[in-house]
Structure 1
Amino acid sequence: MNRRYLVGLLLGIILSSASTFAQNVSMNSAPAGFQPAYVVGEDTFAIVNLPGVYIFPEMKFKNKKEQDNYYKLIRDVKRTLPYAKMVYSTLIETYEYMETLPNEKAKQQHLKRMEKEMFKEYKPQLRRLSYSQGKLLIKLIDRECNQSSYNLLKAYLGSFRAGFWNFFASMFGASLKSQYDPKGKDKVTERVVVLVENGLL
């Protein structure tokens, strides 16, 4: 069982049992830099948020090429993951903002303006990505947003424009319909992403 869930379960048991002694329980507020605590009778229980613990088997490489590919993957994930997370945050912000717009015409105008601004801001940076980094970015967008880049484009820009961009990507050996498979073919990538996200690589 994941240690984070185990700790959460234990804290839940402590807190639920503590609630049976409600008349004797008080919650201490804590100044900055200190942890809050529950006081149950004469006992004090600190409330501590523990980070997740991830344990992976040691990487074993068949040869130097495989090892080099792994370290290249680490470099590529560090390069592309921030863009995938940016796409996700932009998606959330765009959806929330579009909900406030009065009609479909206003929504389409906003999307065109946003598309133009994003091209202007990110095109120079994205052009510096290698083909393999571009393919990886497409998969990481699927990981962050839980749907393929093609589906995102289709939802916001329509089928025709999504098809155009997918055709454009295919000329470089990529597909916007690529799906992320963290337990299968992308298992090693998922390992690297988790370690990078937690500052362990």
Structure 2
Amino acid sequence: MQYCVTSIVMIVKKHSVLILCLVAFGLNAQSDTTVTKKMSIDGEIVTAIVRDGDTLITAELNEASVTSFRKFDSDTQKRWYLKYRRYANTVYPYAVESIKMFRKVERETEGMKKKKRKKYVRNLQKELKKEFTDPLKSLSRTQGKILIKMIEYELDTPMYDLLKSVKSGFSASKWQTLGKFYGYNLKEGYIPGDDPIMDAILQDFDVSYE
């Protein structure tokens, strides 16, 4: 007979983590039965799969990015990387939300007439202004650049083309002119290898949204 063994194993997948709690006692004598049920843990209702006395608790988590320890050619390069990481942490939520909104516009305006689509985008823009105008105004130039590159990297499209598809060519040109004033070229897009520090940051932060 096997005696009581308790272990916890965490298995990380793309969008979920499985917390496997094994409590085995006399496993050889147990039958092969599987039951799915709801249970409460610290006041939260979770789904549990019970099989032969073993309990498998499933929980949804956001996607996690795991990278190896980075090496740098100089202390200056390391300082820039750490600075970019701090800035990326600040703009990350805005990048995810921007990508989410772009996907939403694509999905909900598909096949929509031009006039109706413009009205939809205009109403959505009003909603977003209330929530994001103040925090986005406080971003530095470098933070703004990282935000733009995060969006371009995920959507594989220059910001100019994104603005043109959602708004209009005139609007995209207006933002391109303003962007140049702050040192951005919205037509350029993300170019791998152009900025090694930026490459590392974009690899570290997963902004994908489906």
TM-score when normalising by structure 1: 0.66
Of 123, 141, 148, the match for 1:113: 123
Give the stretch that moved more between structures: 106-115 or 42-51. Answer: 42-51
Match of 1:79 in 2: 90
Gaps of 5+ in 2: 1-10, 17-31
Instruction: Output the amino acid matched with 1:29.
Output: K
Query: Matches of 1:82 and 1:57 in 2, distance apart?
Result: 24
Deviation, structure 1 residue 156: 1.1
Instruction: Output the amino acid matched with 1:109.
Output: K
Higher helix share: 1
Query: Matches of 1:105 and 1:90 in 2, distance apart?
Result: 19
Match of 1:28 in 2: 36
Residue by residue over 1:72-128, the C-alpha shift from the partner in whole angstroms, topping out at 9 and shown as x without a partner, is: 112110111111111112223333443596x32121122233334544543332222
User: How many residues are aligned here?
Assistant: 173
Give yes or no for contact 2:66–2:204 (8 Å, CA) kept in 1.
no
Match of 2:199 in 1: 187
Give yes or no for contact 2:67–2:204 (8 Å, CA) kept in 1.
no
Of 141, 144, 147, the match for 2:157: 147
Query: Does 1 or 2 have the higher relative contact order (CA < 8 Å, sep 6+)?
Result: 2
Residue by residue over 1:151-194, the C-alpha shift from the partner in whole angstroms, topping out at 9 and shown as x without a partner, is: 22111112232122122212211122321649x83332135425
RMSD of aligned alpha carbons:
3.7
CA distance 1:75–1:167, shift in 2 (3 Å): same
Residues 1:62 and 2:60 aligned together: no
Match of 2:173 in 1: 163
Matched residue SS, 2:82: helix
Name segments (4+ residues, structure 1) moved above 4 Å.
Answer: 42-45, 47-53
Deviation, structure 1 residue 140: 0.9
Deviation, structure 1 residue 45: 6.8
